[in-house]
Chain A
Amino acid sequence: MKSAKLAVSALAMIAASATLASARDQIQVSGSSTVLPYSTIVAEAFGENSDFPTPVVESGGSSAGLKKFCEGVGENTIDIANASRPIKESEIEACKAAGVTDIMEVRIGYDGIVFANDTAGPDFAYTAADWFNALAAQVVKDGKVVANPYTKWNEIRPELPDQEILAFVPGTKHGTREVFEEKVIHAGCKESGAEDVLVKELGEEKGEEACGALRTDGKSVDIDGDYTETLARIQSAKNGIGVFGLSFYENNTDKLKVGTFGGVAPSTETIAKGEYPVSRPLFFYVKKAHLGEIPGLEEFVQFFVSDEIAGPDGPLAAYGLVADPELAATQEAVAAGKTLTN
């Protein structure tokens, strides 16, 4: 009885509301939490400087955002998905199956990944090999594959400080983790020459896998929350080293000290020049079918990639985004409505 009543009331409610619901007049954005601050900065500036309402920006991660993006075309689906990695082939397929065929890819700039410790701690000058030796589950010592024996940084390389190894790395659900494994741990595996030994000792497949596997003895701690959690962990464990986004570090320089990587200090300049290697592009994806349907969407996309916003002197760069040197090409592609398929 109750459920019948409930269903009837719910249906009545929906029917009543459907007649009330008018066409959506604000842009809906969802996706990566790394892109979120940039997206909100642009949304806010867009709302201030135009007659359109401020876009609504959700976070929840690149994958969740793209999944939502690929649910279909229409007013009750989102218009833009933010992503801290390029869209995957499988996601394009899923999009196509739901009728989302014309997807515009817009690269907004680059995000640096930095390693920072407490301001009271020592200065670090890392190399990729140091990180591999510090955090890999198996390392090569005297030409043999052994379970990671290092407990202090200076055991890896005498120039590093005499400090316990303790690293807070992003959990596997973060896009940052993939970049960290690929550009730091895997690169370090290659750089230190451990890759060859691992492949020789363990076989092609297992060796490659061992190249990216992190130790699980408590020296490498996965952080599933966001950077604020990593910061809190470092403040309670002073000898910890955290993996952060450049913009987060730049907002907390009074609490964090950043280490150099391969001799280069991270900054928007060194990343733009390609001297600091650990960075990744940031994107957003737009449904072309929604352009012209959702008021302001076209203007918003153009506003986002304009020189005043995404350029090296714009508010995004001031917040920590590394401006894309090829921004002009992106602007052209946006103006021409270029999609992934053409």
Chain B
Amino acid sequence: MTEASFPAAAPHAQGSLLAADERTRKRNAAEARFRAYGLSAIAISMIALVVLLFSIFSDGIGAFRQTYLEIPVTLDAAQLDKSGNRDPEEIKKVLTLTYGKILEQSLRAVIADKGIAIEGLTDKDVSNLISKEAPAQLRNRVLADPELVGQTVQARVLTNGRIDGYYKGRVTMESAARDANTSVAQLQLANALKDQGLLATEWNWSFLTMPDSSDQRPESAGVGVAILGSLYMMLVVLLLAVPIGVAASIYLEEFAPKNRLTDIIEVNISNLAAVPSIVFGILGLAAFINFAGLPQSAPIVGGLVLTLMTLPTIIIATRAALKAVPPSIRDAALGVGASKMQSVFHHVLPLALPGILTGTIIGLAQALGETAPLLLIGMVAFVKNLPAAPPEGLFDPASALPVQVYNWTQRADPAFMERASGAIIVLLVFLLSMNLIAIFLRRKFERRW
């Protein structure tokens, strides 16, 4: 064999290794372009997220601060307790209207006392400075302690939503001049009261505890009922969807024979996961309210509907987690004489647990943000009374966080927009903490093979 026996090789393109040729340059350019596409895709989604979060936080952070007025209030016995025997039943007959007048008189006394004189200040400006919620709070305070009648007490009362908006930058002197619900003189009065140290914008915990309020008093609206309603529903979902979902997937994955029937079930579960959530609402209305006679607007029905909605998600996640456990684990367990059930419950299930937990929490988070199915079962409603503690509370009317957001965005008063964004912040905090828990659990318990 000589070199000459080889056919002459085609002349190979000659070039230095250090200088890239045309083809390499093209390939490198393609890669650089792809990286640029990827980076811009990430940049676009980051910008969208930042804009979204910025607009929500800049609108909503105001909901966590509230303007209060602190004035001495003289609880005139002649108006509140005509008979003078401090009988709670008698005092109960005095309506909030009278308490409103008492607050107004007290505010007038303060204005006269401090020598505040403002040009063009009308009676309506003075009476409207105080929130319409304040008389109700004062009345409850007096009913709780009838001995207060006849005394002068310090009362910390909410101010009108426009005054509150003025200190949050939502209302300006220019807009007030055009606004039928406030006036420049009213804002000047608020400023004068602020100078006297009587009016202050403070941190507002009550946003998290107070119930919804009617259109006339956005300043007192809170997410208390909504948070409780959402928690109750999550409780129901957790107690029902997790055992049912996990049991169903263990059976399907580990025990069920592989035949046409299980295939059909499998396909249907995947299909169910993609069914629009409103369909579950229709089902809930028909099955739980009309057929089973459960009450409207109750978290139990909401929880049941969301359970149906979450089940496919949990089943799919659990089956994936079970599938990810290597067959060698099962074989080893069976090999040392464990029964099928022992192998599943002692070995496979603990190893699949992090995946199951993650899937469950993500399913719950999805259910937490759901509004559509709740529309039909009466949970998109104005609910003022906090539900009782479970289990009875599960049957009391309640609302839910996403529902509260939806309700508030429809209200006429612009102050509700701030409340809606505030409720979104609360919802985001809940979702974020649930997802963090999911990540934490996965990190802590995850096993790799």
Contact = CB atoms under 8 A, between A and B. Distances in A.
Interface of A: 1-3, 5-6, 9-10, 13-14, 17-18, 20-22, 24, 26, 28, 30, 33, 36-37, 39-41, 43-45, 47-49, 51, 53-54, 56-60, 71, 75-76, 78, 119, 226-228, 247-248, 250-255, 308, 315, 318-319
B174 to A, nearest CB: 8
A273 B125 CA distance: 27
A1 B304 contact: no
17 contacts: A2-B251, A5-B244, A5-B248, A14-B294, A17-B294, A39-B382, A40-B214, A51-B92, A58-B381, A59-B380, A60-B375, A76-B290, A226-B410, A247-B412, A251-B414, A253-B181, A315-B132
Nearest to A308: B97
Nearest to B380: A58
A9 B304 CA distance: 11
Contact of A252 (B380, B381, B410, B414): B414
B304 to A, nearest CB: 7
B412 A44 contact: no
Given A49-B96, A315-B132, A13 B304 contact: yes
Given A2-B248, A56-B397, A21 B97 contact: no
Contact of A254 (B95, B178, B293, B385): B178
B96 A1 contact: no
A22 B393 CA distance: 11
Contact of A9 (B136, B214, B244, B384): B244
Contact of A1 (B171, B217, B251, B385): B251
A24 B295 contact: yes
Contact of A14 (B244, B251, B288, B384): B288
Contacts of A250: 180-181
A308 B412 CA distance: 23
Q: Do most interface residues of chain A lie in helix, strand or loop, or is the interface mixed?
A: helix
A71 B293 CA distance: 13
B315 to A, nearest CB: 8
Contact of A47 (B132, B248, B384, B411): B384
B58 interface: no
Contacts of B64: none
B414 A2 contact: no
Contacts of A24: 295
B256 interface: yes
A51 B89 CA distance: 11
Contact of B214 (A3, A43, A76, A247): A43
Interface in B227-283: 240, 244, 247-248, 251-252, 256, 265, 269
B126 interface: no
A227 B217 CA distance: 19
Nearest to A46: B384
A26 B213 CA distance: 17
Given A21-B395, A24-B295, A253 B410 contact: no
